Amino acid sequence: MNDFSAIRPGTDLPSHARELVRMHDAVIGGGKPRMRPRGVVARSWTRVLEGGLDPGHRSLRNPLPFDEVLRRRRESPLSLVIDELRQILCSVADASQFLMVVTDADGVILWREGSARVRSRADALAFAEGAEWTEAHVGTNAIGTALAEAAPVQLFSAEHFEQQQHPWYCTAAPMHDPRTGALIGIIDISGPALTLHPAILALVETAVRLEEGQLRRHHELRLERLRTAATPTLTSVAGPLLLVDEHGWVAHTVGVAPRDRIAVPSADQPLTVPGLGLCLPEPLADGWLVRPSGQDRRIVLTLDLSTTPCIEVSGCHRQWRSSVTARHAEILTLLHRAGPAGLSAVALSRALHGDADHLITVRAEVSRLRRKLGGIVESRPYRIAPGVEMTVVDRPSLAAR
């Protein structure tokens, strides 16, 4: 049994549940249980106890208004695959007495479907749309612990921190944007503890892999539709250019090295593209045409740390300035110091957090930075793009020497 699985095939579920209740009471009460909690459970209980939660009392759930749930659904990439998830997981939900629950990256439940009988029991726990099921809010649970561990998690009975959750099992796995690696949500199956089957974890992990692949196909189809719609315009335009969607993903290139993404275009702000220099985006239906605004394609990036961190980008006799977060300033400084070799996600995690356990956080931060700077920051490895002249000023302790 790996650290993610709660049971082995053939486990006597009632007996195991009783052992876990005794273990839970002993550990939480400061005693010495005969059976030690699994590593993933012990780590979670430590975090929850440090947060001050009481296992004997249900913490406050304050679900979001349904209008906010609907807004989050519309903005979630998971809305593109929710129908496929229903087909994969909900077709056997009634017979297997479980719920499919889908959250966003904040742990807020956006969709909950499955057995009517189990839904009724879940309502008593406020395990429903709009509730935030993070460890900080409801203690150790598969959704919140999967978020904290950045890995699939299965919990059985009294492995949950709250006693009111002991009659349940839950199995959750993170789902990522296949383009960026950023966390976009959690897929969970939950049901009465004594109905847990060893195959549930594999079912959830398989669903996640299938739908991450489906998200990639959705992305590729959107770019193909953009290319098709823009063909008349592209045939009438001379010179190097990029065709990108509203998020900066590249659908087509002419006269410039292929790349996957640039900064998110805006009609009122120039942007920088290595190989093209400073560009003025031109809006198209569902996308943007990006062309150089002059002959000089050099890009000069200055990271100013003298007061509030900000960046200044210049090229083609134009320049623009924008504030950046302290974290983004730190990332840019580290990439500048790393030079052309760049840094892997693991190396960047160690530099920022002191360990290699924050890969999802690192990828999300770099993804947000690339939305601002686009191709100036490259991936695999992360580095400042060749051809970008970067300087860091006014903080000698961080400046590259």
Fold of 13-217: Beta-Lactamase (3.30.450)
**Over the chain, what is the mean pLDDT?**
88
Give dist(CA 296, CA 293) in Å, integer: 9
Q: Distance between CA 284 and CA 244 in Å, rounded?
A: 9
Nearest CA to 114 among 132, 81, 92?
92
Take residue 226 and report the two structure tokens written for it: 């953009």
Amino acid 179: pLDDT: 86
- Nearest Cα residue to 318 out of 288, 289, 284, 281: 281
pLDDT in tens, 158-194: 999 999 999 999 999 999 999 888 899 999 999 999 9
* Alpha carbon distances (Å) from 64 to 109, 112, 132: 10, 14, 8
Nearest alpha-carbon partner for 110 in 148, 76, 147, 61: 76
pLDDT recorded at residue 398:
45
In angstroms, how far is the first alpha carbon of the chain from the final one?
51
Identify the pLDDT of residue 297: 58
pLDDT one-digit tens code per residue, 354-399 = 998 888 888 889 988 887 776 678 888 999 987 788 989 875 554 4
Kindly indicate the confidence band of residue 279, based on its pLDDT and cuts at 50, 70 and 90: confident
Q: Where does the chain hold its CATH 3.30.450.40 domain(s)? A: 13-217
Structure tokens of 58?
């249900």
Contact between 278 and 368 under an 8 Å Cβ cutoff? The reply is no
Angle at which helices 13-28 and 39-50 pack, to 10 degrees?
40
pTM of the model: 0.74
Q: In the predicted model, is pLDDT for residue 199 greater than 70?
A: yes
**pLDDT confidence of 400, banded at 50, 70, 90?**
very low
Higher pLDDT, 388 or 207: 207
Degrees to nearest 5, angle at CA 180 with 178 and 368: 150
